[in-house]
């Protein structure tokens, strides 16, 4: 229990440091909670192929994805913050951790694709609409047909209109998160 509390405290300090130094890229006042992490992970079929998580931060959702049954070697974490990326690599043995820019997937991920699910924790509401659209279009090109693109946000509506050929549904409203969040699932079809 003490180790878990110490780890959670250290994660909260990492989060606070990132929030202070670059608030636009963090986008929340607290790290994602376990209820949100589980709501996101429930949208993933562990047998559907590799999973990409963008903006994993301290790894709360990454942990839930692994607990869902995704094998470590099938999980790629793309994190912009260098300190978070180092922490994630140390925390999750066997997981592919890439330190890079989510808005430049070709440079950050190369040819790594297609994914059976993509999870985005980016605070898309902090970015201009054109940048959000370009981002989701680039993700759509890296997905297997029918794979979910899972985005959580703190707004009342989906943070971006679906790419051409995609629909979006609200899969969960998580009131037990601070702040309350919605889980949006974009899917081809």
* Ordered domains of the chain (ranges, CATH): 2-188 (3.40.50.150)
What is the reported pLDDT for 57? 95
Question: Do 27 and 123 form a contact (C-beta atoms < 8 A)?
Answer: yes
Question: Residue 71 CB: number of other CB atoms within 10 A?
Answer: 12
Q: What is the residue whose two structure tokens read 């790894």?
A: 59
pLDDT higher than threshold 50 for residue 12: no
Buried (b) or exposed (e) across 130-159, using 16+ Cβ within 10 A? Answer: eebeebbebbbebbbeebbbbbbbbeeebb
pLDDT in tens, 91-129: 999 999 999 999 999 999 998 889 999 999 999 999 999
What confidence score (pLDDT) does residue 24 get? 46
- CA of residue 81 relative to chain centroid, distance: 14
pTM of the model: 0.86
Are residues 180 and 173 in contact, defined by beta-carbon separation less than 8 angstroms? yes
Residues of the chain with pLDDT > 70, as a percent, come to: 84
Mean of all residue pLDDT scores within the chain: 89
């Amino acid at each position: 229990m003490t180790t878990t509390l110490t780890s959670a405290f250290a994660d909260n300090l990492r989060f606070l440091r990132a929030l202070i130094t670059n608030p636009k890229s963090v986008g929340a006042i607290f790290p994602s909670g376990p209820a949100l992490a589980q709501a996101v992970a429930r949208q993933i079929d562990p047998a559907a192929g590799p999973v990409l998580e963008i903006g994993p931060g301290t790894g709360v959702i990454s942990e839930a994805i692994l607990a869902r049954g995704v094998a470590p070697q099938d999980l790629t974490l793309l994190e912009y913050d260098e300190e978070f990326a180092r922490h994630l690599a140390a925390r999750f043995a066997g997981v592919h951790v890439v330190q890079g820019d989510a808005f430049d997937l070709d440079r950050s991920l190369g040819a790594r694709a297609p994914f059976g699910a993509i999870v985005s924790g980016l605070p898309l509401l902090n970015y201009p609409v054109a940048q959000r659209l370009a981002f989701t279009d680039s993700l759509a090109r890296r997905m297997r047909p029918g794979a979910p693109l899972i985005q959580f946000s703190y707004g009342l509506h989906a943070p971006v209109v679906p790419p051409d050929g995609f629909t979006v549904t609200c899969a969960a409203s998580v009131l037990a998160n601070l702040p309350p969040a919605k889980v949006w699932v974009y899917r081809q079809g």
